[in-house]
Structure 1
Amino acid sequence: MTGALSHIRVLDLSRVLAGPWAGQILADLGAEVIKVERPGTGDDTRHWGPPFVKDAEGEDSREAAYFQSANRNKQSLTLDFTQPEGQRLVRELVSQCDVLLENFKVGGLAAYGLDYASLKTINPRLVYCSITGFGQTGPYAKRAGYDFLVQGLGGLMSLTGRPEGEEGAGPVKVGVALTDILTGLYATVGVLAALNQREQSGIGQHIDVALLDVQIACLANQAMNYLNTGVAPKRLGNAHPNIVPYQDFPSADGDFIIAVGNDGQFRKLCEVAGLPQLADDPRFASNKARVAHRGELIPLLRQATVFKTTAEWIALLERAGVPCGPINDLAQVFADPQVQARGLRIELANGLGSRTPLVASPLRLSETPVQYRNAPPLLGEHSEQVLQQHLGLSAEQIAALRQAGVV
């Protein structure tokens, strides 16, 4: 293993998405990631289907496609740490690990002696990352947190959906569990920062990452719009609160996006659209004016865009230097020549005798590139390997643990 993190070993006790997403990023960067799962059932998302991965005969397996999205390059170890022997084995592994990821409820692992305060006495260099819905402190700390709930509570859904008064108006969640994904990314950043600090201090630390905190932090300009005005932003559909025109427009055969970022681009748009007079109209000559007169400008542009196809508009606008693009479904995404050129669809051989299609990592490191070592593991696929290599257990000892339901 020659990845940037090939010297790092991670014990991943997390389930579902935010924690596993962080674990997969670390694994893609070369870390050895041991995913600890419940015997018999494993990570909840193993069963979140259909769809399921196909086996060698082309039939549905019991491995949900959802699980595959966040568990590449990991080893699966089944271990019941509600049992004392399971707890002992986790502690032995912790003594050999650099990072622990977990997303249990606040205090949930303390009952098993697997909380940070307990484990740092075993391994003071341990970087222990806790991912929860609401963090380790505050009145909501003990609540369970789910992406959908946090998108609502954290304000994202108040900004997403058609404007009030339009048909179909109302709050809408983002089409993927974006808060979970962003939390996984922030957790990864925190782990990398703590590992870097450990190089200087020699000791690890506890990282407290909360979905709600991340969701609010990622409101970005919308949060700043509110904090600077005291006025809560409203839903604008596909429009932008600070830039106009920056939204979808109808074409002769569908819809496409125009994303004008400055007044020069707006003038070019007007020329291509056969409406050069709009660029000199005081209502539209500056972005500030266009934001104020959005309701007058957008209908004028929409009346013009319906007379050409999406492909025609994109060809014309790209030549003029006006940012624009199609609205693709996923079939079109993976057929796109740029997506194919970047190799964003990969396949890895799996333990079912077939191959699992996956989305590639977006990280491109020149000296330590991402390596796709193995597909997301079957439940317990590496239990014997991990217990033998890292803990020195014999086949007889492992068999006894299986008989006792610990492994």
Structure 2
Amino acid sequence: MQPHAPSHAPSHCKSTGALAGLRVVDLTQMLAGPFCTQILADHGADVIKVEAMTGDGTRVTGPFRADDTLKDFGGYFQSVNRNKRSIALDLKTGTGREILRRLIDDADVVVENFRAGVMERLGLSYETLRETNPRLVYGTVRGFGDPRSGASPYAQWPAYDVVSQAMGGMMGITGPDRDTPTKIGPGVGDTVPALMLCIGILAAVSRARATGQGQFVDVAMTDAVLAMCERIVYQTSYTGAVPAPEGNRHPLLCPFGLFRARDGHVSIACATDAFWEKLADAIGRPELAQDPAFATNAARVRHQQLVIDAIEAFTAVRSKEEIAEALGGKVPFGPVYTSAEIFADRHYAVREMLVDVEQPGSATPVKIAGVPIKLSDTPGAVRRRAPLLGEHTDEILGGIGLAEDRIRALKAQRVVA
């Protein structure tokens, strides 16, 4: 193949998002990779999701609507693959790999989350791809990173969210007591690395546009989780102490955590003495702000249980709504919400964080989480639902110059779907 300039068809650049015109070939599956590429798609990138002939494994994960007669994908896939186009390729065939190579030669970015070495065995390593596309930004997210940037002894270990949460230090400081490490509810061991990969890709794209030279972008899930848990590093380095699960308290700040309400829990975070003074007044205990045992953060940390008892004497006999009326807008405060309460809160409606999308096979739309990054001039958007498997194969192949009869032949040969 010969290097060539990108031939992005105008029809693929209709988005007015900040990343309009950016072409991304997405070879990822599960959560970390698709979450990263979806962020790019939300902000206007043309993301081509290349799937196996059987599709991304999360298509069958569900949950599914009760009336879904199609079951091409459920909630998991819908939530992290919106705004993308899908093509199915058999990469076990030479023709399938040739088509992928042509797609990548026409792209700005390729992202994959295979185990290290898979793309090399397919003859599609970064070093090979950059020969015909020197501006290519090649992004990877793996459990323990790519050997190019540090050969981990665990490089060949498969990893999911719970593995990176465990080995990155997050579970070691989370739990009801020092002896009970606990998994964080959402898949942050995937989504945080995805966010960091997205930042890395955009940094590399910026440089590629200035210099014409792409580069390899590598994020290890465990590294990303450790970076998010940065406090445990300096605590151990500065003091020699090994942090342990802290329950709903904070080792350095007080009050800073969860407090019982009559109908659940609320969070209160007074990181400054000024906020503590306002909280003491709001709960009818202004004298606490003047008491030397509680007047400073250091003193409150030393007498943490007494502080918690004083606050819960106020919160435990009131509902979350009543506490919000007393504390909202005065100190950093928030009720612990269920998803039902999130659906009912006007904040998420006005911020467009609960978005209706079509669910193929179902008579009614479904809701997915919206776009949290708000840009004033080029806002991101949920423009379309997640794609059916191979839904855009014809237009994608047509975009790289394949004629209709050639596409039909490839489908008959089961090279594409």
TM-score by length of 1: 0.93
Match of 2:347 in 1: 338
Report the counterpart of residue 8 of structure 1 in structure 2: 22
Is the counterpart of residue 74 in structure 1 residue 84 in structure 2?
yes
Change (3 A) 1:159 1:88: same
Contact 1:344 1:360 in 2 (8 A): yes
Among candidates 142, 146, 149, match of residue 156 of structure 2:
142
Once the two structures are superposed, the pairs formed by residues 296-315 of structure 1 within 5 Å of their partners are 296-315=306-325
Rounded Cα–Cα distance in structure 1 between residues aligned with 2:381 and 2:328? 35
**2:381 and 2:331 mapped to 1: Cα distance?**
37
Contact 1:53/1:62, CA 8 A, preserved across alignment: no
Once the 2 structures are TM-superposed, how far is the Cα of residue 350 of structure 1 from its aligned partner?
A: 5.0
Matched, 1:329 2:341: no
- Alignment match, 1:26: 40
> 1:178-193, aligned counterparts within 5 Å?
178-193=188-203
The 3 A distance-change label for structure 1 pair 89 and 310 is same
Matches within 5 A, 1:4-403: 4-39=18-53, 41-49=54-62, 51-53=63-65, 59=69, 61-136=71-146, 137-164=151-178, 170-318=180-328, 321-352=330-361, 354=363, 355-390=365-400, 392-403=401-412
**TM-score, normalised by the number of residues in structure 2:** 0.91
Name the CA distance, whole Å, in 1 between partners of 2:215 and 2:264.
52
- Report how many aligned residue pairs link the two structures: 397
Per-residue CA deviations over 1:53-95 (Å, capped at 9, x if unaligned) read 46xx555724120011111110000001121111111111111
Cα distance in structure 2, aligned partners of 1:60 and 1:160:
40
Q: Is the CA contact (8 Å cut-off) linking 2:254 and 2:301 kept in structure 1?
A: yes
Distance 1:172 1:187 in 2: 26
Distance 2:316 2:368 in 1: 37
Deviation at 1:224, TM superposition (A): 2.4
Alpha-carbon distance in structure 2 between the residues aligned to 1:256 and 1:380: 46
Q: Distance in 1 between matches of 2:261 and 2:153?
A: 50
Q: Which secondary structure state, in structure 2, belongs to the residue aligned with residue 11 of structure 1?
A: strand
- Matched residues, percent identical? 39
Partner AA of 1:20 in structure 2 = P
Contact 1:350-1:377 within 8 A present in 2 as well:
no
Q: Quote how far apart the aligned CAs of 1:356 are.
A: 3.8
CA contact (8 A) 2:355 2:382 kept: no
C-alpha separation between the residues in 2 aligned to 1:326 and 1:23? 32
- For the 8 Å contact 2:371–2:382, the answer to whether it is kept is no
Deviation at 1:201, TM superposition (A): 1.6
Q: Which residue of 1 aligns with 2:9?
A: none
Moved more, 220-229 or 361-370: 220-229
Shift of 1:348: 2.7
Following superposition, the deviation at residue 368 of structure 1 comes to: 1.2
Deviations 1:342-382 (A, max 9, x none): 11111233544753422111121121111333210011111
Q: Alpha-carbon deviation of 1:395?
A: 2.7
Which segment drifts farther, 154-163 or 353-362?
A: 353-362
Aligned-partner residue type, residue 41 of structure 2: A
Quick one: which amino acid aligns to residue 336 of structure 2?
I
Deviation at 1:305, TM superposition (A): 2.6
Amino acid at match of 1:331: A
Q: In structure 1, give the amino acid aligned to 2:64.
A: F
Structure 2: 5+ residue runs without aligned partners? 1-13
